[in-house]
Structure 1
């Protein structure tokens, strides 16, 4: 195929040797302003991720991050011994951050925006290594403007850091394969360790990386490549192994809710991967273009492995005792998909066709980008208004009875606590031991709810927060808690706040 006879031209790279174009080796050294493509891409991604970063109210997983990060270091480590160990690295990082910058919604999410900015830099560096300057520009723009980058760049969870670690590991692997020295393998080990510590599922990237190494070895027949890779992997996994062992003991509490995936779930995951169904399928169409090149298929094939193989493997292993198949767990594949799409669009001829494709792809995500920055984009629960209702009529000594029991995973208590003013101190009337005392994310609830209330003779009023939708102000409270409140208290007033109900009850005389 030649440029004159097809709409897709091979991206042989500017300033690259012929052998590099054929075999997918790295580009020649880049000089001048092109060396700093990664910087503008990082800045653009950071700015986009920060726009409206505090608009959406945090959802329950973010509130779990806040609750953990707000603890003293000793209390946090104690909690990790019992639950959420796999999130420990992120919680410790966030703990240090909020101790300096505070815990406003925008500040809780700022580290994720910074991580996505770092990932953008590595996306551009990888594009420049495997393809050319045009692909690098397209990749930087596309990555910054894919809705999922904003979604997880505006979320106080570890996923943006996983994307950063895997994007860095992929570029560092390519560098090490150019010149397999200890000085180049060691950064790759560090990136692998970071990926595993922030989310162990991301270590699925080791399989496509190993296949890339095997392919390069087949060309060079140099045992330095597989030997260096194996050593780098061992070093990178050393700090992750204890986490994996501890996480396995906690898996029942962490992801037992995930079900065995079906084939239709592959389509569902792909639809959600970019946080926009339209963008996801347009991205896939653009990503397939590089595989049509007559030359230079090696870079596209290597990226396709990084993009698709972890998803396929996660689907297969999730048919075992534990499922790991969830779109955000596999978000780390997004940079590779973006790179493939950018390479495809960048190779279209005439060049304006590629620019038009990029504009269309970005435009498809505009509606989703706007939605991500609305108040209820992450959660339909309005914790702020609930807290305002309580704070308005609060009296010192008031109690608190949030819906927990089987529904504790919805973290309604965290939702309210996050927004309560500092001068509002509520007694958790059905907590036998606080979460801090139990070294857990949740408090230990009273087995005998009535006895707990009898032990709190001084608590004249209790704020009950549970689900709305029925006339029952105690809807979804555990049976014992509902009976104890009915027996000892009378309803003073009840206020519906979206899908929650705030009820003030007072001790019967």
Structure 2
């Protein structure tokens, strides 16, 4: 998983969400916490982790994405451990870990500067620690489970829906051992661990709820169709999802594996159902990347299917031959998903705006004293100014115009624009103008008062259209 995560990890350009992560994490802690009080608190724990990571390893594309690659490698390891423990089968565990590597979505978020890989790792670790605590309860094991679930929830609150699937593991364990002395202890130990998790996460939940309308207002309430076809979106490749379904089938039909297979299936399905139901209210949380943490459970289910195939084949052929033949089935999703894996490493696979190209155009023609105008206002979500800044050399820093307070001083991801444009125009002899999309009009999408101020003082001398961006150079009128 680590090798797949690192393969061509710097090829895709940063897209706006990754730029947001960089912008947040590279502030000092006081500035970061000031921002989180206003926006993006649900990702705040990840930003703090990334802040210290960047302080140690730098803020290059490779360094920032390395954290996600390592986290997803951890998720694959814990997936293998869950499969081994849930089915008492090394083959099921090995197959589960390898199958997770074949999923295009997993590769994508192993190469993205966002919280989802860390959350997936934390939820997988929590499931494994829960299984260990159920087998041999102890304060340290329950504490480890609560800590990893708290990490997952603090990094992304939606991951707490995984508690629904974990409850099935607890009830199944209790039911199978209900006649043993002390079996009922798990019925209070698990809720106590969950309460500790929720208490630790509650500050993030309070802030996140206050900010939810701004953060998630763009998501519509999901339909039944969205729920049914979520599994296609989760894999980023329908053929891979079909391959997983076929591989899982033998486990659901084999008497030795069926109990664990149903538990693994519910670990994946119940969180999605919970999030879908919660999303029928005023705020929707239903989008595939928010549920990425369910993929290890689906890999465990498919891995058990491979182990079930090996068990069936071993009745007719030697055990080693049966294992080798069954393990070869891992190649099925690997092969059918290969085109999607390749596409995810293209330059604009993460986004559709060429921040790097725009920065190169500006750097090539830059003169000290140049100004910069970027899409802001109702287009501030595109993170154009921050995206350009990331890719611009340190010596190239055009002065932002029409900005009353920059994003850092505004304690936000976005700058605060001047209420009236013309007094904020400044006296730059030249100004770089970067807008969203491709248009013959270099001012496309700018607020009207900014257009009027620029047209009054400047004239366009050159325009360059790039993927998702238009870069123009304006020169002050004589």
* Structure 1 length-normalised TM: 0.88
Match in the other structure for 2:255 = 294
Match in the other structure for 2:288 = 327
Q: C-alpha deviations, 1:149-185, integer Å up to 9, x for none?
A: 2111100000001101110111111111111221211
Match in the other structure for 1:25 = none
Match in the other structure for 1:38 = none
SS in 2 for 1:238: helix
Match in the other structure for 2:96 = 139
Quick check: 1:152 aligned with 2:103? no
Aligned residue-pair number: 462
Alignment of 1:51-450 (within 5 A): 51-131=7-87, 132-221=89-178, 222-348=183-309, 349-350=312-313, 351=322, 354-450=326-422
Note the C-alpha offset of 1:463.
Answer: 0.5
Q: C-alpha deviations, 1:432-470, integer Å up to 9, x for none?
A: 1111111111110111111211xx1x3121100013432
After TM superposition, the structure 1 stretch with the greater mean CA deviation from structure 2, 79-88 or 347-356, is: 347-356
Native 8 Å contact 1:151 1:275 kept in 2: no
Native 8 Å contact 1:48 1:145 kept in 2: no
SS in 2 for 1:409: helix
Native 8 Å contact 1:398 1:427 kept in 2: yes
Q: For residues 469 and 144 of structure 1, what CA distance do their matches in structure 2 show?
A: 37
Q: For residues 371 and 343 of structure 1, what CA distance do their matches in structure 2 show?
A: 29
Q: For residues 349 and 401 of structure 2, what CA distance do their matches in structure 1 show?
A: 32
Native 8 Å contact 2:257 2:304 kept in 1: no
Q: For residues 69 and 235 of structure 2, what CA distance do their matches in structure 1 show?
A: 16
Alignment of 1:446-485 (within 5 A): 446-453=418-425, 456=426, 458-485=427-454
Q: For residues 205 and 467 of structure 1, what CA distance do their matches in structure 2 show?
A: 38
Quick check: 1:488 aligned with 2:457? yes
Q: For residues 442 and 468 of structure 1, what CA distance do their matches in structure 2 show?
A: 20
Q: For residues 94 and 175 of structure 2, what CA distance do their matches in structure 1 show?
A: 31
Q: For residues 498 and 211 of structure 1, what CA distance do their matches in structure 2 show?
A: 48
Q: For residues 178 and 468 of structure 1, what CA distance do their matches in structure 2 show?
A: 57
The CA RMSD measured in Å over matched residues stands at 1.4
Q: For residues 73 and 117 of structure 1, what CA distance do their matches in structure 2 show?
A: 28
Note the C-alpha offset of 1:246.
Answer: 0.8
Q: For residues 181 and 127 of structure 1, what CA distance do their matches in structure 2 show?
A: 22
Native 8 Å contact 2:46 2:155 kept in 1: yes
Instruction: Flag structure 2 segments of 5+ consecutive residues without an equivalent.
Output: 314-321
Q: C-alpha deviations, 1:208-244, integer Å up to 9, x for none?
A: 2122212222232322111110111111222100110
Q: For residues 154 and 468 of structure 1, what CA distance do their matches in structure 2 show?
A: 25
After TM superposition, the structure 1 stretch with the greater mean CA deviation from structure 2, 271-280 or 435-444, is: 271-280
Q: For residues 9 and 17 of structure 2, what CA distance do their matches in structure 1 show?
A: 16
Note the C-alpha offset of 1:353.
Answer: 5.2
Instruction: Flag structure 1 segments of 5+ consecutive residues without an equivalent.
Output: 1-44
